[in-house]
Amino acid sequence: MPAAFFLSAVVPCYNEASGLPELYRRLKAACAGVGQPYEIILINDGSKDATWAKIQELSANDDTVVGINLSRNHGHQLALSAGLSLCRGEFILIIDADLQDPPELLGDMLKKMEEGADVVYGQRISRKGETWFKKATAAAFYRLLNYLSDIDIPRDTGDFRLMRRNALEALLSMPEQSRFIRGMVTWLGFRQVPLPYHRDERFAGETHYPFRKMLKLAIDAVTSFSIRPLRMATYFGLIMGTLTVLYAVYLFISWALGGYVVAGWLSLMLVVLFVGSAQFVLMGVLGEYLGRIYIESKRRPLFLIQEVIGRSTAK
């Protein structure tokens, strides 16, 4: 699809009414500073506050703002996918609405594009306003993901990045339901370069990625880019089988030498609980992959768009 604009800024929004005016002000200034035609795409991901009303107001007063209202809350990754599917720029900026990633870095990203990059991704040097627990789990997640994954996903990165149209078209050709976009972009290849930056605190509102959602994203990331957990399940089963055989040999030798062998409830229950928990872990790993096969086999659309505003007049 030929690009209709030089730049598209794509922003998923969920309950961001309080921060949208400041996001619009800063993002508008960054895009206008490029001096080329642009559009700002704001996706309402089933917000429960006045986010969609704010987007409608911005779009009515500024013909560079395109509003997309999804039929329900689909989640950040699918909301982002919806915006990417409708953007029309030669260069596409992906940024969250919380302003933790500064829009003012757009100029630096474009400079790296001029040097031949296809994707410029933000790489966090520091993370202001986040608890030690979140920083520690994030660091552990990226390192574990790189160990398990079949591709080298850059550490300490989010979805904040600038892409060329050719990279976006390749990304849009990937139809999987369980989406981990930063990993999918890495998988594409092309020339990808980092832009180190200091991540700011959230401007307004509360984080929409509590531990439960972060855990789900981590599971999606691992199962989307690696089959090593399946292999680890096999290795774990072999190790358990070996330990069981060794323990059986130990008990037999102790019995043969007239040693004292305890055959009470404690030892029996420990073995039963340990083996049972191991089986549940292995079944869970298998279930994750089977569940994804089941979901993909339905071939449902990734998202449903209820309404698009401002698209026909954006300049």
Contact 78, 303 (CB under 8 A): yes
Average pLDDT estimate for 230-238: 66
- Please, what is the end-to-end C-alpha distance for the chain in angstroms? 17
CATH code for 5-211+301-309?
3.90.550.10
Average pLDDT estimate for 57-62: 90
Contact 158, 182 (CB under 8 A): yes
pLDDT digits (tens, 9 = 90+) for 96-112: 888 888 999 999 999 99
Closest CA to 87 of 19, 29, 31: 31
CA distance 184 to 171: 7
Q: How far is the CA of 129 from the CAs of 113, 133, 201, 204, 287, in angstroms?
A: 30, 12, 5, 12, 36
Query: What is the percentage of the chain residues whose pLDDT exceeds 90?
Result: 25
Largest CA distance in the chain: 91
Secondary structure of residue 56 in the 3-state scheme: helix
| Burial environment of residue 161 by CB neighbours within 10 A (0 to 12, 13 to 18, 19 or more) | buried
pLDDT digits (tens, 9 = 90+) for 142-180: 666 666 666 677 777 878 999 999 999 999 888 777 777
CA distance 309 to 53: 12
